[in-house]
């Protein structure tokens, strides 16, 4: 049987709808927000009468269970009423709603503590009472009003809400661990997302840490190339590391490691903070390579990236984002030294055999094996060029751009290859004909322009012409004429090097032939564009297309 006052309350709510429903359905809706507000104002006295009737009926029930059995619709009615802001702002209506909530759950006796009632779960009562005080305008001061109407102190309701949340989640985790239950992959992810509002509560630290440990336990994966669902909500981790850093840094080592091995946001935070300190050191203007390596060696995060290739893999993705967002040679320099440090330190790993392929995406295993283990030479570089192109043809059109980024970053990480190429450019005795170095030239051209269109051929030919011209200059007998012609040659072909990092490497490759610091400085000043021109400091990431 549907009670007349219940039916009338439902009819009012069907017309009014909640604020959230209005937000979601505002377009093409028959009634406007203003129309609803006017209707509520006109019906406010009737609503008060209906709430009084409801309260009287609830008083006749001895327990919360009887209330729920006799009036099952009331739970939904109360939940919808608290979500209409204008009702929360009306003091009399707000008080009537709270009275009905307290009576429905049998919390109506102001002398009885919330923890003593039996009936509906406490969590529902606290959630509904809290809903009427949050989610509205910050200037409404509803929390104080609610606390006053409930006969509690200003912080009592929040404290009870926190305590109940901790109790419920703790009991849940205890039960799962005790009975060794298997949970869906999204379960803890959803729980962690619900914890976001509670990150600002210091008393929640123990629960936050336990949820992180629970979610990441057994998911460290010393080796990479495994597909798993998210251990924690990405939004939760972002809020924790970026907006509640004081709580983040207090986490125990296992919880921190769990975040690093499973959550890209935590890895991004560590990389960005480290790079900021390296790019803008407090006590010096420039960080020499040995200073960078020493810095990395003293950071627990990068030490764990050596032990856990999964962290390194997440770093690799972060490095690509860094270069996309900050296409600057100084960022690329830091990335190069970081990757070199991790790769060269891998033999010290406590957990896995020093197989370098574990540190890179599965797609690049074959390529990384050659780069790490083979000796640079024309034949091996030809093999790399072939494999790079073959892998590209195997990618879908939508994945090609991302594939190029991964390959380019990988090739730039193993610098011994393009250093060997540059050294060979000026080894006329071993390679008397420049055509003998065509594969190495193609390798270098792709680093400058990582595409497969006609321009890569133009760049490759230009590199060959430039090296041929420089070789001819080196054969001149008069040293002064030789230097002048080399400068002119570099200046002529400088335009093909959007990535001036490789041009610098080529210039420095002449050191074995012309051991003059003055001349090296002159060439660098002439050939490298001023720093105020953006292209002079941009790596080739802008050419992925």
Is this structure's pTM higher than 0.75? no
Task: Average the pLDDT over 40-54 and give the result.
Answer: 87
State which residues form the domain around 104.
4-151
**Which residues, at least 6 apart from 493, have a Cβ–Cβ distance to it below 8 Å?**
462, 463, 465, 466, 469
Same domain, 139 and 177: no
In a domain, 293, yes or no: no
The answer to whether residue 212 sits within a structural domain is yes
Q: Has residue 41 been placed in a domain? A: yes
pLDDT score for 379: 95
Is a pLDDT exceeding 70 seen at residue 175? yes
Verify that 505 and 416 share a domain, yes or no.
yes
Distance of alpha carbon 539 from alpha carbon 412, whole angstroms: 10
Question: So what's the pLDDT on residue 349?
Answer: 56
Residue 19 has pLDDT above 70, yes or no: no
**Which of 93, 127, 151 is the endpoint of a domain?**
151
Are 131 and 65 contained in the same domain?
yes
Residue 271 belongs to a domain: no
Q: Are residues 46 and 70 in the same domain?
A: yes
Average pLDDT, integer, range 360-389: 89
> Which of 102-116, 323-337, 381-395, 396-410 shows the lowest mean pLDDT across its residues?
102-116
> What's the pLDDT at 33?
52
Q: What is the pLDDT of residue 116?
A: 40
Confidence label for 119 from pLDDT (cuts 50, 70 and 90): very low
The C-alpha angle 170, 173, 175, rounded to 5 degrees, equals: 110
pLDDT at residue 171 is higher than 60: yes
169 and 139 in a common domain: no
Residues 173 and 147 placed together within one structural domain of the fold: no
CA distance 406 to 327: 15
Residue 437 in domain: yes
Are 405 and 513 within one domain?
yes
Q: Are residues 74 and 199 in the same domain?
A: no
221, 237, 262 — which closes off a domain? 262
**Are 145 and 194 in the same domain?**
no
**Claim to verify: residue 424 and residue 523 sit in the same structural domain:** yes
Q: In this structure, is residue 340 part of a structural domain?
A: no
Q: How far apart are CA 356 and CA 123, in angstroms?
A: 51
Highest mean pLDDT among 22-26, 136-140, 234-238: 234-238
Q: Quick one: 185 and 221 in the same domain? A: yes
For residue 273, pLDDT over 90 is answered with: yes
Residue 369 and residue 505 in one domain: yes
What's the domain count of the chain? Answer: 3
Look at residue 187 and tell me if it is in a domain: yes
User: Does 21 fall in a domain?
Assistant: yes
Give the residue-averaged pLDDT of 247-275: 93
Among the candidates 262, 292, 321, a domain finishes at 262
- pLDDT for residue 466 is more than 80: yes
**Per-residue confidence band for 491, with pLDDT thresholds at 50, 70 and 90:** confident
Long-range (24+ apart) CB contacts under 8 A made by 338-347 are 338/292, 338/296, 338/302, 339/413, 340/413, 340/415, 341/292, 341/293, 341/296, 341/297, 341/302, 342/302, 342/305, 342/306, 342/312, 342/315, 343/372, 343/413, 345/306, 346/306
Name the residue with higher pLDDT: 21 or 495.
495
């Amino acid at each position: 049987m549907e009670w007349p006052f219940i039916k009338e309350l439902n009819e009012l709510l069907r017309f009014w709808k909640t604020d959230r429903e209005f937000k979601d359905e505002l377009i093409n809706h028959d009634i406007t927000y203003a129309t609803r507000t006017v209707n509520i104002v006109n019906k406010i006295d009737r609503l008060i009468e209906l709430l009084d009737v409801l309260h009287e009926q609830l008083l006749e029930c001895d327990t919360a269970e009887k209330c729920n059995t006799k009036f099952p619709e009331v739970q939904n009615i109360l939940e919808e009423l608290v979500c209409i802001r204008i009702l929360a702002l009306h003091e009399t209506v707000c008080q009537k709603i709270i009275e009905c909530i307290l009576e429905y759950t049998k919390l109506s006796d102001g002398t009885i503590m919330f923890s003593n009632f039996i009936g509906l779960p406490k969590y529902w009562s606290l959630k509904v009472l809290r809903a009427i005080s949050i989610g509205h305008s910050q200037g409404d001061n509803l929390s104080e009003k609610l606390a006053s109407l409930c006969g509690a102190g200003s912080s009592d309701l929040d404290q009870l809400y926190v305590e109940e949340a901790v109790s419920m989640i703790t009991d849940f985790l205890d039960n799962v661990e005790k009975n060794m239950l298997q949970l869906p992959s999204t379960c803890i992810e959803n729980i962690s997302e619900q914890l976001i509002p509670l990150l600002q509560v210091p008393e929640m630290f123990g629960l936050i840490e336990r949820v992180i440990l629970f979610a990441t336990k057994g998911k460290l994966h010393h080796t990479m190339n495994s597909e798993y669902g998210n251990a924690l909500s990405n939004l939760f981790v972002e809020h924790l590391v970026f907006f509640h850093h004081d709580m983040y840094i207090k986490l125990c080592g296992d919880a921190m490691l769990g975040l690093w091995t499973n959550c890209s946001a935590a890895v991004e935070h560590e990389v960005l903070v480290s790079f900021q300190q390296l790019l803008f050191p407090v006590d010096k203007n420039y960080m020499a390579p040995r200073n960078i390596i020493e810095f990395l060696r003293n950071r627990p995060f990068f030490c764990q990236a050596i032990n856990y290739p999964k962290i390194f893999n997440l770093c690799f993705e972060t490095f690509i984002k860094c270069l996309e967002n900050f296409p600057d040679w100084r960022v690329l320099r830091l990335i190069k030294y970081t990757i070199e440090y991790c790769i060269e330190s891998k033999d010290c790993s406590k957990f896995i055999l020093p197989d370098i392929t574990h540190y890179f995406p599965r797609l690049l295993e074959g390529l990384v094996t050659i780069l790490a283990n083979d000796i640079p030479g024309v034949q091996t570089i030809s093999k790399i060029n072939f494999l790079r192109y073959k892998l590209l043809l195997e990618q879908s059109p939508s994945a090609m751009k991302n594939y190029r980024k991964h390959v380019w970053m990988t090739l730039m990480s193993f610098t011994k290859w393009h250093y060997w190429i540059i050294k060979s450019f000026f080894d006329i005795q071993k390679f008397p004909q420049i055509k003998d170095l065509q594969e190495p030239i193609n390798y270098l051209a792709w680093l400058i322009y990582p595409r497969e269109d006609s321009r890569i051929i133009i760049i490759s030919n230009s590199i060959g012409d430039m090296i041929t011209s420089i070789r001819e200059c080196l054969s001149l007998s008069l040293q002064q004429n030789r230097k002048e012609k080399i400068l002119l040659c570099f200046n002529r072909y400088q335009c093909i090097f959007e990535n001036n990092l490789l041009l610098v490497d080529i210039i420095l490759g002449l050191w074995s032939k012309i051991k003059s610091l003055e001349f090296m400085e002159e060439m660098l000043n002439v050939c490298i564009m001023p720093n105020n021109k953006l292209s002079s400091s941009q790596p080739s990431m802008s050419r992925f297309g």
